[in-house]
Amino acid sequence: MYIYIRTLGMSTSQLYRGSLTTIILKLLEENGEMYGYEITQRVKELTQGDLEIKEGALYPSLHKMEAAGYLTVTAKKVDNRVRKYYDITPAGKEETVNRLAELDEFLANMQRIINPKLSFE
Amino acid sequence: MYIYIRTLGMSTSQLYRGSLTTIILKLLEENGEMYGYEITQRVKELTQGDLEIKEGALYPSLHKMEAAGYLTVTAKKVDNRVRKYYDITPAGKEETVNRLAELDEFLANMQRIINPKLSFE
DNA sequence: TAAATATACATAAGATTCTTAAGTAAACAA
DNA sequence: TTGTTTACTTAAGAATCTTATGTATATTTA
């Protein structure tokens, strides 16, 4: 019998809700085509293990973005196993710009609330 | 018959999900006791009308935080109308510190993902 | 080499947090 | 006096996520 201890530092925060689409779009825009599992590992690496994208969130999100026309998917067989590579479309690039603008606004608004003294103009 | 046109610039972004508790705690810690409607107006003011806290989100959230022991509530009659003033407890102040730390981590992680070139150390 | 872990995807059930909507009630402005 | 603002409540539904389960192959470890 094996017992798995949950690692400390793992994000249980609700703040990431709503940010997954933005994260995926930005990674694909930056790196070119990626497959799902690769995205989870890249995010884990970039955040030093702090943020672990769950498959239950990731895959439905990718499917939804493909249905929306933001991504295309291509299945490739590597080592006798199927990978689904996602690539960003022109509509996806537009959406990336919008999402990043929204993120900037969100960050600015949170600053205004959390640190009102630094909010000039 | 009256038709209400939805103002542009209002936040339809999902990014604010999960940030409401943090916002309320910080405002109460900063300003002392406040009532619900006052909180919505303060946030609207601080974000230049960008973020409008909905009552349907605010009041259940205040009740939950009170039940958790983070806030106390005192009803006061002003102009023949009841206001419920919420004040932060010591446990609420602890939670504020935790929530602000989580926010900092979230912001740092988003920076690492969105702008990996700026992530040194 | 058998068992465990890692890779790689899918999806249903349930939790959480929010929006929308409807209701109550009083004060104030047109 | 009609509409708007102030002030709070709560139910129904939407969106996003976690947990759990399933499938399947490859690689590592005991």
Q: Which domain holds residue B54?
A: 14-118
When pLDDT is cut at 50, 70 and 90, the band that residue A116 belongs to is confident
B111-117 contact pairs (CB < 8 A, 24+): B112/A46, B112/A47, B113/A23, B113/A26, B113/A27, B113/A43, B113/A46, B113/A47, B114/A22, B114/A26, B114/A100, B114/A103, B116/A30, B116/A46
CA pair distance B86, B21, nearest whole angstrom: 13
Which pLDDT tens digit goes with each residue over A49-108? 999 999 999 999 999 999 999 999 999 999 999 999 999 999 999 999 999 999 999 999
Does residue B1 carry a pLDDT above 60? no
Q: Do B18 and A17 touch (CB under 8 A)?
A: yes
Given a contact cutoff of 8 angstroms between Cβ atoms, the answer to whether B17 and A108 are in contact is no
B67 touches strand D (CB under 7 A): no
pLDDT of residue A117: 75
Report if residue B6 sits inside a domain. no
Report if residue A89 sits inside a domain. yes
Report if residue A8 sits inside a domain. no
CA pair distance B88, B26, nearest whole angstrom: 10
Does residue A4 carry a pLDDT above 60? no
Report if residue B7 sits inside a domain. no
- How many domains does chain B fold into? 1
Report if residue A9 sits inside a domain. no
Report if residue B2 sits inside a domain. no
Does residue B7 carry a pLDDT above 60? no
Helix (H, G, I), strand (E, B) or coil at A81: strand
| Chain mean pLDDT for chain A | 90
Report if residue B70 sits inside a domain. yes
Given a contact cutoff of 8 angstroms between Cβ atoms, the answer to whether A89 and A33 are in contact is no
- Residues from B contacting A (CB-CB < 8 Å) are 11, 13-19, 22-23, 26-27, 30, 43, 46-47, 50-51, 100, 102-103, 105-107, 109-110, 112-114, 116, 119
Protein-contacted positions of strand D (CB under 7 Å): 3-4, 6-12, 15-22, 24-27
CA pair distance A28, A91, nearest whole angstrom: 13
Residue the block writes with tokens 């490739």: A76
Given a contact cutoff of 8 angstroms between Cβ atoms, the answer to whether B71 and B89 are in contact is yes
Report residue B110 as tokens: 């988003």
User: CATH number of the domain that B55 lies in?
Assistant: 1.10.10.10
Report if residue A88 sits inside a domain. yes
When pLDDT is cut at 50, 70 and 90, the band that residue A28 belongs to is very high
Helix (H, G, I), strand (E, B) or coil at A18: coil
